[in-house]
Amino acid sequence: TPRRPGSVLCIPIFEPTADNRAGGFLFSEKKGYISPGGAVLGTIEIYHRRARGFPAEEVDLLEQFAQQAGLAIQNARLFLHIDRLARDASRNLRQREHIMQAIPDGVIIYDSRWRVADANQAIRKFLGWSTDVIGLDAAEALSRSTAIFPEEFSVIPNLIEELDRRVLERRVDEFKMVGADGQNYSIRRSYAPIHDNLGDIFASVVIYHDVTEQVAARERIEAEVISRTAELAQRNEALELAKAEQDLASARIELLLERLPSGVMLISAEDKRITIINRQATQILQNIGLPLEPLDDLDQATKNAVGRNAEVLLRTPTVYSTSGSPIPYEEQPLDLTLYKGEASEAELHIRQSDGQLFLLVSAAPLRTSDGTISSAVLVLHEITKLKTLERAREDFFTTMAHELKTPLANIRAHLSALQAKDFQWSSEAQQNFLETADEQVERLVGMINHFLDASRVEAGALRLELEPILIPEMLEDLEERLEALISSSGRHLKVKLPPRLPAVIADYELIMSVLTNLLSNAFRYAPEGDTVLLEVEPVYGADDQYPSSVELRVTDRGPGMSLEQQAALFTRFSTFAAMNRPAVDRPGQPTDERRRGSARWSPATGLGLYISRGIIEAHGSKLTLKSSPGEGASFAFILNVANSTDDRRAP
């Protein structure tokens, strides 16, 4: 169709702004219309069939209409947005309610003034709340609860300040309470703030979490731990007591092992190594020549011996039986115990350059519960001194038998001669026979009494008949008794007495026998023609005006004695005197006639000094000896003065 000429007017619809809402417009010469400056929402177009211009009034009217249309469009959009926000808020509220109800824990939301903004079903049921608690402040809402809180929660001063502090600290506390249903619960309560987009706190949430089962389980565990701890403490105490008892027993065993005079060893049956050994065993093993180092430190050598192979050690020395034949290791007690399980004992001899070493060796097995040999106990007892004593005793009895045999033979010979009917003896000969027999009988009685005195000394049964003794008178009596011995010996006796001596308290006859023994020995060993000295000296205490005791000392200038000889001199069966007594035919020794007239002459039984020491010790004193080879000997003892003042001052 053919086009017709016409005209059109186009008016834009702008988005309202603060300026055009206030009625202000902008005029654009370039575009030829007024522009508010907002975004274009649409246009209004006016068509006219004829080609003509539009009056200004129509243009203004249409622009006003376009402005109102823009406002209407914006309002419609705003209403649609608000409707969407309302629907979103409603949906969010329903979701929050669903979430609150779905949470198993109790949840309370408080506003900024600590009024209850919301509470889920779980907390309302737990605290016994109804829906009317919404909007109540915290104190009033809690007061309406039928649950029973701990007592300290009901008396909190300044509750709002305390709640604010707990929220800021995000505190979590745990306590026990009774719920609205009357059941006991363990609750873990936590506080947390709720912030807006600017970070300000506009609400707070308090969550009650039921931890009853966990607490019960924890309490059961804690109770079990406490019970087990108490049980462990009891067991530890029992173990400590057992350990203390074991330590005490070990200490006692260790002390016992150290105090034992015998050597003790424990040897493992598995590897034959020493597991326990005492000092005495180490000393014995060193004495028989085994290489247990260091030789100058016995304690260290004992420690070093632990772990050594006992079989290797004990195979080293050659040992002999009592008959003198060598004993192989396989026949010795330890080997018999470890390999055959036999408890055995044997007396073994070991020959050394300076003599023989005698050992009494015992071994016994230790078995486990099934009878297996686990170890062996080896006991080593050195009996060298015992053997020496046995030999001395044998020598003593041999000497006694010989000495008894001689007088008995004399007595029998003289009596047989008197009884012979084919001989006629004169009265003088018969008298001589009887006197000789009587002297031999007296000699026998003296030797027997000597032996009995030694037995009394050893048994501690020596009886003292104490009396005040004037020493000058006693020494005068002593010289008379020893006159025959002194005159026939070719030696002299010198007595040194101070001018005044107190009386002593002692057994007269026993002290006389001690002095007789000491002087007899001195005359036997003093050089011919020499002088034996008997000295008496008073002994004063630190502050005593009168002497408290008197010392008697016998000194000779004979051959003297070594320390070893001195150590053996006072033993019961000492043969030193018998072995070293001068021969009867030595110049200066009493003749048969002079010996016959002295009742104090006796054979060297080895008991004289032993008895003398026992007598002096019974008096509470001690018999001392000072001697060295070639310088003679000096025996001394001290006697207490009598208690009487008159006795002290006696001349």
Which structure tokens are listed for 140? 């009033």
pLDDT at position 36 over 70: no
Percent of the chain with pLDDT over 70: 86
Which structure tokens are listed for 460? 């501690």
One domain, residues 449 and 461 = no
Give pLDDT, residue 605: 52
What mean pLDDT value characterizes the chain? 82
435: domain CATH number is 1.10.287.130
Residues 532, 491 contacting (CB under 8 angstroms): yes
Residue 89 lies in a domain: no
pLDDT at position 54 over 70: yes
One domain, residues 533 and 608 = yes
Segment 557-581 mean pLDDT: 68
Domain that holds residue 162: 103-210
Higher pLDDT, 369 or 605: 369
Residue 224 lies in a domain: no
Residue 328 lies in a domain: yes
Residue type, 316: T
One domain, residues 402 and 295 = no
Counted domains in the chain: 5
The pLDDT-based confidence of 155 (bands split at 50, 70, 90) is confident
488: domain CATH number is 3.30.565.10
Residue 445 lies in a domain: yes
321: domain CATH number is 3.30.450.20
One domain, residues 462 and 593 = yes
Residue 249 lies in a domain: no
Residue 225 lies in a domain: no
Q: Which of 382, 417, 444 is the last residue of a domain?
A: 382
Distances (CA, A) of 619 to 117, 567, 641: 113, 22, 12
Give pLDDT, residue 535: 95
pLDDT at position 18 over 80: no
Helices 298-305, 279-287: inter-axial angle, 10-degree rounding = 90
pLDDT at position 34 over 50: no
Instruction: Specify the pTM.
Output: 0.44
Segment 575-597 mean pLDDT: 42
- Min mean pLDDT across 298-307, 412-421, 480-489, 496-505 is at 412-421
- Whose tokens are 């600290």? That residue is 169
pLDDT winner (highest mean) among 82-96, 362-376, 413-427: 362-376
One domain, residues 281 and 333 = yes
One domain, residues 337 and 472 = no
Higher pLDDT, 462 or 617: 617
One domain, residues 114 and 163 = yes
Residue 64 lies in a domain: yes
Residues 369, 353 contacting (CB under 8 angstroms): no
Q: Which of 20, 50, 81 is the last residue of a domain?
A: 81
The pLDDT-based confidence of 606 (bands split at 50, 70, 90) is low
Residue 320 sits at φ, ψ, to 5 deg, of -130, 155
Distances (CA, A) of 597 to 209, 286, 412, 436, 515: 125, 55, 20, 11, 19
pLDDT at position 194 over 70: yes
pLDDT at position 496 over 90: yes
One domain, residues 434 and 541 = no
> How many Å apart are CA 314 and CA 300, to the nearest integer?
20
One domain, residues 608 and 543 = yes
CA-nearest of 355, 130, 265 to 119 is 130
One domain, residues 76 and 192 = no
- The whole-angstrom distance between residue 228's C-alpha and the CA centroid of its chain comes to 28
- The whole-angstrom distance between residue 318's C-alpha and the CA centroid of its chain comes to 42
One domain, residues 149 and 71 = no
pLDDT at position 91 over 80: no
Which structure tokens are listed for 11? 């008016």
Give pLDDT, residue 585: 46
Give pLDDT, residue 485: 81
> Interior CA angle at 310 toward 309 and 312, to 5°?
70
Residues 599, 446 contacting (CB under 8 angstroms): yes
> How many Å apart are CA 550 and CA 541, to the nearest integer?
11
Give pLDDT, residue 581: 45
Segment 262-274 mean pLDDT: 90
One domain, residues 270 and 319 = yes
> How many Å apart are CA 424 and CA 421, to the nearest integer?
7
Residue 327 lies in a domain: yes
Q: Which of 424, 453, 482 is the last residue of a domain?
A: 453
Which structure tokens are listed for 116? 């209850």
Which structure tokens are listed for 44? 């209004």
